[in-house]
Structure 1
Amino acid sequence: MELRLQNLSKTYPNGVRALQGVSLTIPNGMFGLLGPNGAGKSTLMRTIATLQEPDSGSITLGELDVLRQKDEVRRVLGYLPQEFGLYPGISAEVLLDYFAGLKGLRDGPARRAAVESLLHQTNLWSARKKAVGGYSGGMKQRFGIAVALLGAPQLIIVDEPTAGLDPTERNRFLDLLSEIGENVVVILSTHIVEDVTELCPQMAIIAGGEVVATGSPSDVIGEIKGKVYRTKTEKAALAQLRQQYEVISSKLVAGQPVVRVFSEEPINKVFQPVEATLEDVYFYRLAQRERAVVA
């Protein structure tokens, strides 16, 4: 199964161009869609999930035309949006059984078996009698993925699933996604670089509604390999450094700014060459996109 996006564009009535000629080929396995808030990720996810129409372009999932065969696509789709509502006073077991019925699992024994299996898979079995309104953020996300997995979908979309989770819940959720992504197409839409680095053999970076990089994380990192340098500086010198060099990022380490810059050629001895990371590529591509818009 392969998902193909060709030249998708979407402009909202207020004039915001959310998607601009997006083309991607997404194979089986985990695929990371990395971008900042407002980059167009959620618009793209909703479009793939048949929840809104693009202005132009096409989407195919295997032999299915996603934009014309919405009902068929929904039968093989699992979707975990960034925000989703639950009935807080109902137990996970009862609520998941209800969603299973909506998904088309009509046979009682088969439906109960599916619910039990998913509660075990998402590590919610011991809390199955508890009302979902009392769940932690991570437990709610795991319940959401259980809902998305109903009916053995061939395409699963998860939108910002680890935002706000503590480290333990984040790791548990990522492990779950990794298991799921072995046999189906799973799109992980996120602004968290580590999620993509740890999980996804293929990825894309989106900014301003455009795909600005795509490939494996190692291939994407290879584009700036040997061109990233690091130095410590003083806060008062940051503005001057930004004028002199192509600054990728800066952050405080023990109260002192540490700056990473991109350069085609070695810089003076104040800067030390460092291994490029996916985070470097991410910030570099976003900065490139911003400069292109300003120009």
Structure 2
Amino acid sequence: MPLLIENLSKTYPNGTQALRNVTLTIPTGMFGLLGPNGAGKSSLMRTIATLQEPDSGSIMLDDLDVLREKDSVRRVLGYLPQEFGVYPRVSAEELLDHLAVLKGIGNAKERKEAVEALLQQTNLWEARKKNLGGYSGGMKQRFGIAQALLGNPRLIIVDEPTAGLDPAERNRFHNLLSEIGENIIVILSTHIVSDVSDLCRNMAIINKGQVLLAGDPLTVIEQLRGRVWRKLVEKTELAALQANHNVISSRLFAGKTVVHVLGEERPDSGFEEVNPDLEDVYFAQINGRKVVAAAEV
């Protein structure tokens, strides 16, 4: 039951072209949509979630036409947007029950069982009577996943879910996502590379509304093997390196700058070869003058 997106484009009234002929095949399991802020990730997520219309293109979820059969799609969709608001003076149990009614779970016994199961699954059972206004950021995100799971959805979309979470809550959230992403499609939209490398069997990198690369993270990492070189330099040397080499990333370490260069050969004797990771793939696509060949998902 893949999600098929073909030639999707969207330009907003202010002239911003958010999506440019986006084509993706998203299979069952965790799928990472990786890109910087403003890359078009949220525009794509809102379009898949039936919250906005594209200018052109198509989206199919198995036999459902997402752009034409919106009500049918919404019955099998779970969505956790980037900005997820809650009623601060309502308990998690009460709000989840209310949302279950809106989701179409009319039978009181069935609804009670579903709410209790989701509160247990998201590790919120002990705090079920607590008002949501007193929840931490991580607890609110876990509640967001609980409401997204109502009605046994076939497709779940989570948009920037770990931004602002502390490391412990981020780990809890990762564990929760990995559990639910076994038998349904879960699209994880994020600018955090490690979220994708930790969780996703398939991924795509998007920037300026275009898909730059799609494939299995391990495969696209392997395509960079023997082509990434590292050197510790003074900050004053960085501009010259950027002018003469394909510098894909730089970061500070112990007062100096660590640069990663993409190239077929060692740039000079001061560089050492490094084993590439998904961050190198990401920066090669976003910042590099050469790109990794895209792989089919």
TM bracket (short chain): over 0.9
For the pair 1:260 / 2:260, whether they are aligned, the reply is yes
Could you say which residue in structure 2 is the equivalent of 1:88?
A: 88
Could you say which residue in structure 1 is the equivalent of 2:295?
A: none
> Residues of 1 paired with 2:140 and 2:195: CA distance?
19
> Residues of 1 paired with 2:56 and 2:222: CA distance?
33
Mapping 1:233-252, distance limit 5 Å: 233-252=233-252
Could you say which residue in structure 2 is the equivalent of 1:33?
A: 33
Q: Retained in 1: the 8 A contact 2:245–2:261?
A: yes
Q: Retained in 1: the 8 A contact 2:248–2:288?
A: no
Could you say which residue in structure 2 is the equivalent of 1:142?
A: 142
Deviation at 1:222, TM superposition (A): 2.2
Query: Which stretch of the first structure deviates more once superposed, 31-40 or 242-251?
Result: 242-251
Deviation at 1:221, TM superposition (A): 1.2
> Residues of 1 paired with 2:36 and 2:84: CA distance?
20
Structure 2 residue matching 1:99: 3-state secondary structure? helix
Structure 2 residue matching 1:9: 3-state secondary structure? strand
> Residues of 1 paired with 2:233 and 2:272: CA distance?
13
Per-residue CA shift, 1:94-116, capped at 9, x if unaligned? Answer: 01000000000000010000000
Amino acid aligned to 1:40: G
Structure 1 residue matching 2:287: 3-state secondary structure? helix
Could you say which residue in structure 1 is the equivalent of 2:275?
A: 275
Deviation at 1:28, TM superposition (A): 0.5
Mapping 1:28-67, distance limit 5 Å: 28-67=28-67
Amino acid aligned to 1:130: K
Could you say which residue in structure 1 is the equivalent of 2:294?
A: none
Q: Retained in 2: the 8 A contact 1:5–1:59?
A: yes
Structure 2 residue matching 1:33: 3-state secondary structure? strand
Give me the CA root mean square deviation: 1.2
> Residues of 2 paired with 1:44 and 1:128: CA distance?
33
Could you say which residue in structure 1 is the equivalent of 2:109?
A: 109
Structure 2 residue matching 1:213: 3-state secondary structure? strand
Q: TM-score, normalised by structure 1?
A: 0.97
> Residues of 2 paired with 1:38 and 1:224: CA distance?
26
Q: Retained in 2: the 8 A contact 1:58–1:67?
A: yes
Could you say which residue in structure 2 is the equivalent of 1:221?
A: 221
Q: Retained in 1: the 8 A contact 2:246–2:289?
A: no
Could you say which residue in structure 1 is the equivalent of 2:126?
A: 126
Per-residue CA shift, 1:45-81, capped at 9, x if unaligned? Answer: 0000000000000000000000000000000000000
Q: TM-score, normalised by structure 2?
A: 0.96
> Residues of 1 paired with 2:85 and 2:29: CA distance?
27
Deviation at 1:236, TM superposition (A): 1.1
**Which segments of structure 1 move beyond 3 Å, counting only runs of 4 or more?**
288-291
> Residues of 1 paired with 2:278 and 2:29: CA distance?
19
Amino acid aligned to 1:201: R
Q: Retained in 1: the 8 A contact 2:249–2:287?
A: no
Q: Retained in 2: the 8 A contact 1:228–1:260?
A: yes
Could you say which residue in structure 2 is the equivalent of 1:284?
A: 284
Structure 2 residue matching 1:111: 3-state secondary structure? helix
Per-residue CA shift, 1:239-284, capped at 9, x if unaligned? Answer: 1111111101111112211111101122221000001111011111
Mapping 1:64-213, distance limit 5 Å: 64-213=64-213
The runs of 5 or more residues in structure 2 that have no matched partner are 292-297
Aligned length: 291
Deviation at 1:290, TM superposition (A): 11
Amino acid aligned to 1:104: G
Q: Retained in 2: the 8 A contact 1:207–1:289?
A: no
Structure 2 residue matching 1:285: 3-state secondary structure? helix
Deviation at 1:288, TM superposition (A): 4.2
Q: Retained in 2: the 8 A contact 1:205–1:212?
A: yes
